[in-house]
Amino acid sequence: MATSADATPASVDLTGELEVLGRITESSNLAVVARISSVPGGHVIYKPVRGERPLWDFPDGTLAGREVAAQVVSELGGWHVVPPTVLRDGPLGPGSVQLWIGDPFDPVDDDVVVDLVPEGRTPDGWHAVFDGETPAGSAVTVVHSGAEDVRSLAVLDAALNNSDRKGSHCLRDREGRLWAIDHGVTFSPTPKLRTVLWGWAGEPIAEADLSRLARLRDALADDEPRQRLLALLPEDDVDALAQRVRRLIDRGVHPFPSPDWPSVPWPPL
């Protein structure tokens, strides 16, 4: 998938007029495809706060802010993997607006990050997550890529406390660049990491990602970045983020799945 309008993150202006084109029917919350005048030929996904379904474990009306905060954290640490995202007004009220990766009306089959393979047949360079069965009764294994950028995303997810990293939330554009989307259920102060990217559990975090974590730790100690996040998240969530980052640095390893919380989202893809 090519980045919408072939725009680079540094050049994207998401402040233009929004034109709603259609609803994404498979989304659990209200999400629409829109065209934005300041991104010529490009598309965005617009998630109005008014369309957020109440959740028992996240405060009402906070999912859009979490989408934006995930992009802020990705940039502060130097991951640069979350598409440009802003909190702004639109035809359906305030919400998050994120650059669409690819063309929503012309999807193509690209390099997948998470896949299903016949049970036990994990490809070289990939990691098995768990075995299962398709609705038709075929035995399969859920696997994910072992690429370094995917490993780096797993570290970012641990920092974000991402409770919904499905395979479809990991995208590669036509140039092969990895992007991560859908971060509405992140930043809880309660441990909730739920992901399909468990292949490195217990292994040392790569030096490049330890450096990103250290950069993020230092940024969170500065008032300006902290205030940016406090405008998007409850204070407890921002404090918990800083604690998780310090803990990841101190331990230096990828976390293990928790026995107290479902460790894989459903559906995983």
Distance (Å, whole) CA 147 – CA 150? 5
Taking the model in full, what pTM does it have? 0.92
Burial bucket for residue 80 (CB in 10 Å: 0-12, 13-18, 19+): middle
pLDDT band at 245 (very low <50, low <70, confident <90, very high): very high
pLDDT in tens, 16-75: 999 999 988 778 889 999 999 888 778 999 999 999 999 998 999 999 999 999 999 999
pLDDT score for 7:
43
State percent of the chain over pLDDT 70: 94
Domain locations along the chain: 4-107+146-251
Output the six-digit token pair for 172: 């590669």
- Each residue's pLDDT tens digit, 97-114: 999 988 787 665 556 899
Residues in the chain: 269
Q: Please report, in angstroms and rounded to a whole number, the separation of the first and last CA atoms in the chain.
A: 18
Buried residues in 88-111 as b, exposed as e (16+ CB within 10 A): eebebeebbbbbbbbebeeeeeee
